[in-house]
Structure formats: structure tokens, C-alpha cells
Amino acid sequence: MKRALAALTGLLLTLLGAGAVLAFQRATGSGQTAAAAETQRGSGAIVVDWNKQLVKIVNTPGAQPATVHPTRSFAIMHAAIYDSVVSITHGGSPYLFSLSAPPGARADAAAAEAGHDTLVALYPSMKAALDQQLAGELATIPDGVAKGQGVQVGHLTAAFMLSARVDDGSEVTLPPFVGGTQPGDWRPAPPTFAPAVFTQWSLVTPFVLDKADQFRPAAPPVLTSPSFAQALNEVKSLGQNSSTSRTADQTVVAKFWPGPIWTTWNEIAEKSALAHHTDLVRTARLFALLDLSLADATIAFYDAKYHFHLWRPITAIREAENDVNPATAGDPSWTPLLATAPDPSYPGAHSAISGAAAAVLAGFFGDNDRITVTSDVLSGVTRSFNSYSAAASEAGLSRIYGGVHTRIDHEAGLNQGHDVARFVLERAGSSGFGLSGN
């Protein structure tokens, strides 16, 4: 982080030399002496709108760099929006940076500018559309000094946040991970035999966690154990493309959830924020907590995946004759319902992301919130749940029905995601973050 802070210092000097009049301080949990600004907290819809724009971008073919995980972009954008808002409203402690904004500065203008500036930096090819969205949002805010001050807060906060993530490991390139040849070893899966992805992601500096392996799960059961045989036989039966034991609803579940799961949970959060009419501060905090948790859960599950490098069900089932477990039987022609992702099996990514997201959303709205989820891959299909935890459980189980994960993967991922989010929530506390020691 030292090089990032050095870059940040240079950026600060440049901005101040250019005439920036806002005082800057690294978040320390103290030193915030300015009185709370008399500014309208306003609706949280502006945060939702920028989230929708980022969802649209990452779902645009070719827009997202193939070696950079999208959760990083969500975390950077929402952390910048949150810090810009609380710099003005003092509605919580900042995540990283606090600007001593003039009283009366518009927090909504700051949020809009912070969302815009982070996304322009991360996706410069999208600048025209992002400029258009910003212009539309700023046009709804009365012109004047307060608006301009809010814009400046958002601009500076975005610049600081982007600078803080310089050299965070997201650009590291590692040699290809080829896997092994022994029973239990991951190796590229048929039919495409695609190489492993995001092999470097455990080297990315966490946003809140102290280290990538902080919540690494225990090793999966050995191949000769009854629990391994039970889990493998379950996915062998339920996850086959021609399965007769999978129910019609389980087939729908399998096909409902395979889209980018971080996108799905951000869309769930959008609906919940709008349904609960959360104000600007609370909405900014919700998405910051959510996406910081998802970003760190992603770093954490990739750490575990490439530490244990456990084979995928398609490999385990086709080569079960070699696992020295009398309770399993090989089927060289077995094919899953869904395509297998090109990374090791344990823990499950869908489960880890869903466990983290459900923990954050339940912390905000209670776990007994009634929610409706729209599939990102089955057009117009929705499913309803009486709790966030129920949705998270189904998202993880869908990977068993699809034949790409075992229950062992699912349970480890769900627990890991929950542990990551709980740590983020505890670190943030009841009013904000104060992560200067991170």
C-alpha cells in the first residue's frame, strides 16, 4: 500500500496546486471537527442509478478486462460514493478518506460525480454514456455554489479512491496454472478444457480483510471419506444433463442462477433499497458494505480455490475409478447440465458471494425481507423468497443441480462468504468504517 499512498500524496499535491480548496485528511477515526453540513440527505436513487450503470457496463461484451474481476470495480465505485457522501453529511465514519467539505455542499452532486469519475477511469471507452448520465443527474440539482462544492467533493474523493488502489495486485500476471494429474487434482475440464482463470486474484490487496487467507476454509474431506462419496454421488445424480432424479423445479433453479452472481446480488440490493426508500446516506453505506464484502469474498475464495485446487465434479465422476473410494463409481461419459467454470471446485463462488451478500442485506433490512429475484439469463423469469438467506442457499444449491459443484463446495463457500461479510460489518461498526489501519 506504500506505493499507492505515495501516488496519492502526489495526486493530492497536484490537486491542491491546481486550486482545490477542500481540506483533505486520511480517515483516522478522529480529527473530523467540522460541524455536520446542513444538506439534504435526499433519496438513495442516485446510488442505485450508478449501480445500474456499472451492471450494464460489466455485462457489455468486451467492456470488462478479462483478468480484472468485476467486484473490484463495484467496490471502488461505491467506496468513493460513500466517502463523498459522508464527507458532506457526516452521516458515518468514512471508509478511507474524509474531505472537510463546506457546510451546505450538495451530497447528491458529490455522489453523482464520484460515481461518474470512478467509472470513467475504470472504463474510459464508456465515457460518452457516463458523461450523459452525469449531466442528466446534475441537471436535476439547482445550480449554485452548493452544487459546485458537491461536485468538487465527488471529484476529489474518486481521485483519491482510485489512487489508493494503484498497485493493488489486480494487474499481476502469473504463469498459467496447469493443475495436476493425481486423483483430486484440478485440471481443465471438458469439453473446452479452458485454462484456469483469476489465478492471481488472491494476490490482490483486500479492501477490508487483513489478508486473503483470513477466512480460508478447512481442507475438503479426503477422497476416501464417506462424506466425499456422498457429495459426489449427489451431484452425479442431480447434476447430470439427462438426470431423471432432478425435479422440474430443480432444473429451473439450475438454469435461473448461472449469470454473474455478484451482478444478481447488486440487482437484489437495488430493489431492496428502493422498496425500503433508503435515503442517500443509508443507500451509499449499503452498497459500500455490500460491494466491499463481495470484493473481499472474491479474493478469499480464489485464495482457497488455488490453495486446495480440488477437481470439479465432471472430472471426479469421470475418473472416480481412481479415487480409491468403494462408494463411488466412475462414469466416463457423465456430462453436467451446465458448463463447468474454469477454476477449481472448492469452495463454491456462487455460495461465497451469496453468503456474503445475504449477510449484508439481512444486516440492513432483517433476514425476513420478502424479495423477488429476476434471472440474468432466463428472460422474464423471477423467483420469490421470504429471506435473503433462503435466496443465498438456493443460489448455491443451484450449482449442484447444474452439476458443477458438490455440497461440500457449497457449504464451505456459504460459510466463507458469511464470515467475510461479518468481518466487514464488524469493522465498519454502527456508524461507518474508520479503516485507516487497514
Instruction: Please list the residues that pair with 384 across neighbouring strands.
Output: 372
pLDDT reported for residue 42: 77
2-164 and 201-428 have identical folds: no
pLDDT reported for residue 103: 85
Closest CA to 375 of 207, 225, 219, 253: 253
Alpha carbon 146 to its chain's center: 33
Residue 20 pLDDT greater than 80, yes or no? no
pLDDT reported for residue 435: 45
Write the pLDDT tens digit of every residue in 36-91.
Answer: 333 445 789 999 999 999 999 999 999 999 999 999 999 999 999 999 999 999 99
Residues 6 or more apart whose Cβ sits within 8 Å of residue 350: 257, 261, 395, 396, 398, 399, 405, 413
Residue 108 pLDDT greater than 80, yes or no? yes
Q: What is the mean pLDDT of residues 386-399?
A: 98
Q: What is the mean pLDDT of residues 347-358?
A: 98
Count of beta carbons in the 10 Å neighbourhood of residue 32: 17
Share of the chain above pLDDT 70, in %: 89
Residue 17 pLDDT greater than 70, yes or no? no
pLDDT reported for residue 27: 53
Q: What is the mean pLDDT of residues 261-271?
A: 98
Q: What is the mean pLDDT of residues 232-259?
A: 98
Share of the chain above pLDDT 90, in %: 86
State in words which class domain 2-164 has.
mainly alpha
**97 vs 395, more confident:** 395
pLDDT reported for residue 181: 94
Domain ranges of the chain: 2-164, 201-428
pLDDT reported for residue 429: 85
CATH fold for domain 201-428: Vanadium-containing Chloroperoxidase; domain 2 (1.10.606)
Closest CA to 307 of 190, 403, 215: 215
Contacts 24+ apart (CB under 8 A), 321-327: 322/183, 323/183, 323/184, 323/223, 323/224, 323/228, 324/183, 324/223, 324/224, 325/223, 325/224, 325/225, 325/228, 325/229, 327/226, 327/229, 327/230, 327/233
Residues 6 or more apart whose Cβ sits within 8 Å of residue 410: 348, 351, 396, 397, 399, 400
Cβ atoms 85, 161 nearer than 8 A? no
Write the pLDDT tens digit of every residue in 173-231.
Answer: 998 999 999 999 999 999 999 999 999 999 999 999 999 999 999 999 999 999 999 99
Write the pLDDT tens digit of every residue in 138-158.
Answer: 999 999 999 999 999 999 999
pLDDT reported for residue 433: 65
pLDDT reported for residue 36: 33
Name the pLDDT band for 414 (thresholds 50, 70, 90): very high
Q: What is the mean pLDDT of residues 278-289?
A: 97
Name the pLDDT band for 19 (thresholds 50, 70, 90): very low
pLDDT reported for residue 21: 41
